Structure 1
């Protein structure tokens, strides 16, 4: 179950509780349930505060409302358990995502995996304001609504596109919140090693293409399937499963820097996982290798799609 699925599942549980009389008929049901990653030290992977606005219209304590929903949600496939914390926060401990289902979903959607249906293609950009507004539009947010303050590139930086290249300049412009001044520097943008977030994200995509080429030379192709429970595989699965929620949040808050952080996390997970993909030594390609390759390929697809939403190219070789 993806975070977007979880959001819809919680909304469905609210409707069911109202229809079956567990919550009053007059409860104002949310059109959209916000589900966030649990903060460090919290319970489970995701949490929502949906019980608080429901409690206000129901005339009941948030904790009571949360416990009604928790009983329903604990029975949903994909959710291991639901805990109520504080005054009424719902916390979700999820089952491990299905690698096969996740890979098939990415394959079906391609670069559109996790993207808002409201996302629109936009023309090229020149100033930082153009870069940010176009990225917000690609995410499905509205860049023209008031309140979006965009700090320009400082004049002292000169022509950053000429100095760093289009892609690196855009990365720097989008890596911090729009109202903050972007930071440039050759070490962060031009260095070709894994100390650079910008390099690491594009390198991770290039590694997925190299894995596919090397697998083809060994005579096998990617095939969706379950993967073994290893720390690297589980981390990559979680990063992929979280991606739709991250995109939704980035669009809602008009915050492309959230996508930047998400791509860095996904790239790091892929770079840790890559060593388990191909056969080693005298090993023959097996179903396990094919499913690992399919998972790596899916990660590459999502990386390329995320870079595209930022207006940045995804090179097949670095």
Structure 2
């Protein structure tokens, strides 16, 4: 166990510039700052097969350009590392936290930079819950978060991040976000809010005022699904295949899913096979596939039967 320590200005050739933790152990109430890992990431802290990092300040560490986890890198084949109640900020290469896999709880991840996944890189059964992910930057995909296959975000605030595509969140071949708020993110290429590449699932999320080259993107849903005017709109959400939408509904209304590729000059069209859908008695209309378009704007209309 390592607690109440200051770990500053160290370097490692392979991983864990400040601290390298194998097969368990606890790091608590430490400041880990200005360390460097050259080969494999974890500029500040590297955890493998277990380990708990809690109540730590991890700031301004550095990983080499091709290594993920400028602040913290987690890996595990037998046990998952856990990071909780930490502040991870100001990492110029490798992003804030990389999990392959690992679990993140109640952390603030801000002001980090990476080629993809500026704040948080999740893959291989990783999860992040109740985190604030803000002000991070990615050159290519996922300014706030990059999710790859079988990863989960729960109750996270993703705001003020920036990327080429997927300013807030980028899905690649899987991943899901539940009860998250994705607001005020920007992109220069595709999708200020969410970019979905091959698969992704978004449930009960607010996607609001994300920006793509000066065009606002919003997701609005009336909280009363019995209101005739209730409509869900999603702007600047791009995908290639497999995105699913789950919508609150009532069995007293009929729902139609529409999309348009250009808001200023395009015409709203029905999604094939997704018109005049009866609301489910369960209160959730599930698994509505999004059409394959380069850049889509989507909405759901509720009408009386």
Structure number with higher relative contact order (C-alpha < 8 Å, ≥ 6 residues apart): 1
When normalised by structure 2's length, the TM-score is: 0.23
When normalised by structure 1's length, the TM-score is: 0.22
Return the structure number with greater helix share: 1
Larger-Rg structure: 1
Return the structure number with greater strand share: 2
